[in-house]
Chain A
């Protein structure tokens, strides 16, 4: 067990090192320059461009730039080229904004997928199952931005309440605490539902197929043969065994913490991670792009590590 942890930590650090090199190279070799050295502005003189390049170390060879960047990153001194703010501070702020969206979205996905999937499996081939399948595919195939527009227009025209932003604009002045809190929840509703739709559609399919697989096992037939009530067969014997792969999926949702969603966040004016990363890419704000990239690589690796460990804990058949 301990040797497994040690081995895997070393492996992951090596992977991380390569990820850092590759992402650094991709961003620097890709065409386009930071907007500060954009030569299409008639007001910019070559001397200024040169000065900016020096300030950003862009005049140095790539490996030196690499060292500069990761030295700054690990000492926490990386600053965004756009506004000279500390990148880690910026990411932390945005992370806090994206977090509620992520949490509510995840809760909705997981709480809704299971009942839907299980029921589909139990009533396989019947009307409920077919309509659930139909809806799932519908939700998977509708483009997110379109669905978002339809929902926004419907809600705004029907209920005349604001839906965009993290809170109703200007509510801070004079409203009491419960109102502010509930207002926040309301603003979470649409974007997190939208973020969850795709997840629900996929996850409920997955639950269904897992359930079906388990229900075909011998021990379920045994359970039926013992004359157990259907509820006990489905929810105790089948569900518990079908749950195994999902436990490990918990580790894999970790990277979603930092990814955010560019489209949903832009449409809903949500000041989250995805939007920041997207704007940084457009402006070629290398420090922000690379830091987000690095942090998400760390999270992906941590996620796989956690899911490995979870497997160990929940499935007694696996021994390392």
Chain B
């Protein structure tokens, strides 16, 4: 019977065809050991794929890891976290300070003075060198030039948003008759400059300047509106910090085009261009102007003091000649799109990036791999590896299997996998303190969390050692404040909140919470009870949730817990500040700017100070930190701020995790000295925990080298 035969033979044939393919497949052995090419490739495994390969358009980590290879910024941070020149060879930080001459103010020893008099007065004071305070003396010393800007008339148009609807737009024109202004160039940035100067010009010289008097509007409107703009349009004093970058000559993009200052200007303009929707715009908003002085010098002037500015110039520089208006128009025509709406976001550049980093882009297959080839014309000398491959393997177990087989060199290793791998002779493992921390945040708007004693007591009831040992398998460290632990900003003198349930009870009873007959803490007849929440899907947080609940129950606090899906958690609870206490984590950058998380102006719904931490001293320090350019002073402010936050305990700071990485032992650092002698060194992580800092010098050897133990 044919039907019967068919039914039997069809599946057998199918199975044979499928199975025989086994004999055609190269084994792992052939791919790795038997393949000398493999030693020149570095294959990194990743859970997720990149989105776009354009540093100004993306902020996700997968994209950034590729962008860092393809693009290069003006500077980065070295092993000690100091700034290090990359595309810039050196830079100068100084300041242009302005103030309006105040005709109504009395200058001590000069009376009411006209602009030229004030300028001369300052020049003389600088010459005399007998200033009242050292601050003033230093400030005067910093001045390198003084000039007078004559008065000028101009007008600006402002868009008026009606406060009720926010919809109706009205435009008003304000005519400004700006008085004369004095421009001072300092050889550094001095946030206290005008404060010091007021010893010389009179205490109220700057405060009493009435900007409103110089504003006129042709249309009738409420008085308040002009007042509002006076401070913005005619500020009595203005700091304009300047960054002057000297660029590295002879650096080329991967297509051979020379890099110059116009590329820097172009990158800045692209970020600011609203059409591009760059997620990095916030860091560049304080920039007033970017000016190309000559092809290798670029001057960046800021509107106000903004010390995180330096960090932002690590941004990869885009090639002007491939992405400017003309280039985009041409591309739009080629693709048959409307050139007026075509923006950098649509450009094919984002999938074929060209930068001046150590690796040049080769190929990208979505959700499979990205291949980069080394760039032989890299200014610092080409990397040792010929190829960098980024493989997308979304499953952790298969990642580990591929790692064992040798077809990927690194992957996102989990703490429990490290335990398994670190005993293996074939691998070297690294670990260090990470940049993010986990905390319990209390909603200070609600009672009883408005009492710092209560918050501290809650922290004292939790045994952090246990959490680190049993939840994190030891892959974490205690943390006492909001700064990155391995930086200078972190105040190591602050002791962590001790584990002391008895002490916690004492503190609580000071705050009025006494145990009742059943052992529950009560105050004025009401029980101490609240709900602790966190997001679902994070097992560590879930475990901490249970531990905290149990620890607090033991001292008589009735705690309920709730796990919420991430978006519900954020939208309904965090953004609307509808919670008692929550467990969450922050990823930190090296820069110590904490404005958005801790400043009291950021406590509204949808802002990040959702615990509503308000402290005047802390506010001042936060502003000072983001205005201070001097590292030592910044460190001092940060440590003071750290102390305040540790004292107030708006969060119970729990721990900072550890990052871990595992590599084949055969991967080493290869160096060639001036005499051509080749040396090999073991890979060691830098102080800040970047094991791949010297990645360009890495290479894989056929055999694992034997290193002397370096103690």
- Seen from chain A, the residues whose Cβ lies within 8 Å of a Cβ on chain B are 30-33, 36, 38-46, 48, 51-52, 55, 79, 82-84, 90, 93, 104, 107-108, 111-112, 114-115, 118, 149, 152-153, 156, 159-162, 164-166, 168-171, 175, 178-179, 182-183, 185-186, 188-189, 231-232, 235-236, 239, 266-269, 271, 275-276, 279, 284
Contact = CB atoms under 8 A, between A and B. Distances in A.
Contacts of A235: 1, 3-4, 7
22 contacts: A36-B277, A43-B279, A48-B277, A48-B282, A51-B277, A83-B52, A83-B350, A84-B345, A84-B346, A111-B10, A112-B11, A160-B27, A160-B29, A161-B25, A162-B405, A178-B24, A182-B24, A235-B7, A236-B3, A267-B397, A269-B398, A275-B394
Nearest to B570: A40
Interface in B8-61: 8, 10-11, 14, 17-29, 31, 43, 48, 51-52, 59
Contact of B31 (A42, A152, A162, A166): A162
Contacts of B11: 108, 111-112, 115
B51 A153 contact: no
Interface in B573-600: 574-575, 586, 596-597
A43 to B, nearest CB: 6
A266 B22 contact: no
B229 to A, nearest CB: 19
Contact of B14 (A55, A108, A118, A170): A108
B394 A269 contact: yes
Contacts of B596: 42
Given A84-B346, A156-B401, A275-B394, 18 more contacts: A30-B567, A32-B571, A41-B279, A43-B280, A111-B10, A114-B7, A115-B8, A149-B397, A161-B27, A164-B402, A168-B31, A169-B391, A175-B26, A182-B23, A189-B19, A267-B395, A271-B367, A275-B367
A31 B279 CA distance: 22
Nearest to B22: A186
A275 B366 CA distance: 11
Contact of A153 (B8, B19, B401, B575): B401
Given A31-B572, A161-B25, A164-B393, A45 B59 contact: no
B447 to A, nearest CB: 27
Nearest to A30: B567
Contacts of B525: none
B281 A48 contact: yes
B649 interface: no
B24 A84 contact: no
Interface residues of B, number: 68
A164 B365 contact: no
Nearest to B566: A32
A239 B18 CA distance: 28
Contact of B25 (A112, A149, A183, A275): A183
Interface of B: 1, 3-4, 7-8, 10-11, 14, 17-29, 31, 43, 48, 51-52, 59, 274, 277, 279-283, 285, 345-346, 350, 365-369, 391-395, 397-398, 401-402, 405, 407, 565-568, 570-572, 574-575, 586, 596-597, 606, 608
Nearest to A236: B3
Given A160-B29, A232-B1, A46 B366 contact: no
Could you say which of B11, B365, B571 has the most chain A C-beta atoms within 10 Å of its C-beta?
B11
A149 to B, nearest CB: 6
B18 A185 contact: yes
A117 to B, nearest CB: 10
Given A36-B279, A276-B367, A160 B21 contact: no
B14 A107 contact: yes
B28 A162 contact: yes
B398 A164 contact: yes
A269 B393 contact: yes
Contact of B282 (A45, A164, A170, A186): A45
B18 A189 contact: yes
**Which 6 pairs between the two chains have the least Cβ-Cβ distance?**
A32-B567, A182-B24, A271-B367, A186-B21, A185-B21, A31-B567
A93 B366 contact: yes
Given A118-B7, A269-B395, A269-B398, A162 B25 contact: yes
Contacts of B26: 161, 168, 171, 175, 183
A31 B571 contact: yes
A224 B282 CA distance: 84
A218 to B, nearest CB: 22
A261 to B, nearest CB: 13
A45 to B, nearest CB: 5
Contacts of A90: 366
Contacts of A42: 586, 596-597, 608
A269 B345 CA distance: 28
Nearest to A157: B401
Contacts of B25: 161-162, 168, 182-183, 186
Contacts of B365: 271
Nearest to B569: A31
B24 A165 contact: no
A82 B608 contact: no
B280 A269 contact: no
A294 B480 CA distance: 51
Contacts of B565: 31
Could you say which of A32, A114, A162, A188 has the most chain B C-beta atoms within 10 Å of its C-beta?
A162
B408 to A, nearest CB: 9
Could you say which of A31, A38, A232, A269 has the most chain B C-beta atoms within 10 Å of its C-beta?
A269
B573 to A, nearest CB: 11
A83 B280 CA distance: 16
Could you say which of B23, B398, B572 has the most chain A C-beta atoms within 10 Å of its C-beta?
B398
